[in-house]
C-alpha cells in the first residue's frame, strides 16, 4: 500500500474531500459492501485515473462563516484584496488629493471549521459570487443573528428577513409600517415603534421524532461540528440527537437537540455509563463512565479582528522547563 498526499488551499482541499466522500457514500447507498474508507480511496482513484467514466455528478458543499463586515470596502482594503467593481466609483481626478484612509484590521472567517485569512476569505467569496449578499449558484446564504457575545439567536435568509420586515408581527398587524411610510414620514398612520413581539428566533418545537427543516438549519449553524468534546466532524454530516431520548419524553426542541457524528451518536445511545445533559443555551455536559466531566459549548459567531497569535517562544517559559 502507498500513501498519496496533496497540499492545497483549505477551501479546495475541503471541497475535494467532500466530493470524494459524497461519491463514496453514493456507492455505499447503492449497496457496495466495502468499508467507507476503501470506497473513498476507490472514488479518488477513479476520478484521477478514469475521469472519462460516466458517473452521477455530485456537488461539494462548503460552509463559509464570515461576519458581514468582511463584505465591506474597508474589509477588502485591509486584506490587500482588489476592490470589487460594485464598490468602486469613478476614478478621482489626479490632482484631487483623494486617498483611501487606512482600514482597521479585517476580520477572519472559516471554511468548514478551519480558520482562513481575511484575504483568502475575500477571494473565496468573490469566487462564490456572494459579494452582493446573494446565494452562490447551487448554494444558500443564511444570516446568523447573534447577541453581543456571538451566541446564535436566530437564523434567517435574506428573503425571509425582507418578508418579516414587510409583514411585521402577525399578532399585531396594526403595528406594521405602511409600505409607503418612507414617502410620508410625517404621517400619524405610521407607528413610531413596533409592538416588541419577536418575529424571528429559535425554531419552535415539533410534536414528532424527526426535527423540522428549520430546526436542522438552526442546529447545524449553532453547533457547526459534532458536539462530543474534542470531536471536529462537520455538523452537516452529523445526526441530530435527542439529549433526553424521545422515547423517554424528550422534546424535539432545539434545547434538547445537538449534533453528534454517527460514532458518538452510537456511543451515547448504546455505551453504558455515559451521561449527557444540555442547558437551554446549548451547553452540553458529558460525564464519562469513570466520572470525568467535559463541557461542550456552541462555538458562537464572535468576530475576530485578526489571525490567532503565534504560540509563545518556549525560551520564555517559566521554570521548570
* Residue 150 belongs to some domain of the structure: yes
pLDDT tens digit sequence for 12-29: 787 788 888 888 888 888
Q: How many folded domains does the chain comprise?
A: 2
Q: What distances in angstroms separate CA 54 from CA 19, 20, 214, one per listed residue?
A: 16, 15, 36
* Residue 310 belongs to some domain of the structure: no
* Residue 149 belongs to some domain of the structure: yes
Q: What is the pLDDT along the chain (321 residues), one digit of tens a residue?
A: 888 888 887 777 877 888 888 888 888 888 999 998 899 999 888 888 887 777 777 766 666 676 665 555 555 555 555 544 444 444 445 555 555 554 433 445 666 666 666 566 666 656 554 444 555 555 666 777 777 677 777 777 766 666 665 655 556 655 544 444 434 434 444 344 455 555 567 888 999 999 998 899 889 888 988 999 999 888 888 999 999 999 999 999 999 999 999 999 999 999 999 999 999 889 999 999 999 999 999 887 665 444 445 555 555 555 554
| 258 and 155 within one domain | yes
| 272 and 154 within one domain | yes
User: Which structural domain range is residue 32 located in?
Assistant: 10-49
User: Which of these, 106, 200, 108, 196, lies nearest to 146 by C-alpha position?
Assistant: 200
| 152 and 32 within one domain | no
Predicted model pTM? 0.57
Q: Are the C-beta atoms of 190 and 178 separated by less than 8 Å?
A: yes
* Residue 105 belongs to some domain of the structure: no
| 161 and 28 within one domain | no
DSSP-based three-state secondary structure for 106:
coil
DSSP-based three-state secondary structure for 229:
coil
Q: How far apart are CA 152 and CA 221, in angstroms?
A: 8
pLDDT tens digit sequence for 151-165: 777 777 766 666 665
* Residue 317 belongs to some domain of the structure: no
* Residue 153 belongs to some domain of the structure: yes
| 44 and 147 within one domain | no
* Residue 99 belongs to some domain of the structure: no
| 270 and 163 within one domain | yes
Q: Are the C-beta atoms of 8 and 15 separated by less than 8 Å?
A: no
* Residue 212 belongs to some domain of the structure: yes
| 152 and 26 within one domain | no
| 150 and 31 within one domain | no
Amino acid at each position: 500500500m502507498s500513501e498519496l498526499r496533496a497540499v492545497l488551499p483549505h477551501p479546495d482541499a475541503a471541497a475535494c474531500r467532500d466530493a470524494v466522500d459524497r461519491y463514496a457514500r453514493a456507492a455505499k447507498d447503492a449497496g457496495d459492501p466495502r468499508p467507507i474508507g476503501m470506497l473513498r480511496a476507490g472514488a479518488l482513484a477513479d476520478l484521477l485515473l478514469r475521469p472519462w467514466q460516466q458517473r452521477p455528478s455530485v456537488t461539494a458543499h462548503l460552509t463559509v462563516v464570515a461576519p458581514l463586515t468582511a463584505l465591506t470596502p474597508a474589509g477588502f482594503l485591509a486584506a490587500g484584496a482588489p476592490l470589487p467593481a460594485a464598490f468602486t466609483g469613478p476614478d478621482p481626478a489626479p490632482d484631487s488629493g483623494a486617498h483611501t484612509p487606512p482600514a482597521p484590521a479585517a476580520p477572519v472567517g472559516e471554511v468548514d471549521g478551519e480558520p482562513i485569512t481575511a484575504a483568502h476569505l475575500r477571494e473565496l467569496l468573490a469566487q462564490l459570487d456572494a459579494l452582493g449578499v446573494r446565494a452562490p449558484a447551487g448554494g444558500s446564504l443564511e444570516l446568523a443573528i447573534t447577541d453581543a457575545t456571538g451566541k446564535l439567536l436566530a437564523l434567517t435568509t435574506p428573503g425571509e428577513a425582507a418578508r418579516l420586515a414587510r409583514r411585521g408581527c402577525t399578532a399585531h398587524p396594526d403595528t406594521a409600517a405602511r409600505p409607503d411610510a418612507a414617502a410620508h414620514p410625517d404621517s400619524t398612520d405610521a407607528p413610531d415603534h413596533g409592538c416588541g413581539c419577536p418575529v424571528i428566533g429559535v425554531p419552535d418545537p415539533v410534536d414528532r421524532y424527526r426535527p423540522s427543516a428549520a430546526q436542522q438549519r438552526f442546529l447545524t449553524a449553532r453547533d457547526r461540528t459534532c458536539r462530543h468534546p474534542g470531536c471536529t466532524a462537520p455538523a452537516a454530516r452529523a445526526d441530530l440527537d435527542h439529549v433526553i431520548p424521545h422515547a423517554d419524553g424528550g422534546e424535539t426542541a432545539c434545547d434538547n437537540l445537538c449534533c453528534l457524528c454517527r460514532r458518538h451518536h452510537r456511543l451515547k445511545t448504546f455505551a453504558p455509563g455515559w451521561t449527557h445533559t444540555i442547558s437551554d443555551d446549548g451547553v452540553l455536559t458529558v460525564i464519562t463512565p469513570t466520572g470525568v466531566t467535559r463541557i461542550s459549548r456552541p462555538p458562537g459567531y464572535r468576530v475576530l479582528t485578526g489571525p490567532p497569535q503565534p504560540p509563545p517562544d518556549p525560551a520564555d517559559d517559566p521554570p521548570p522547563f
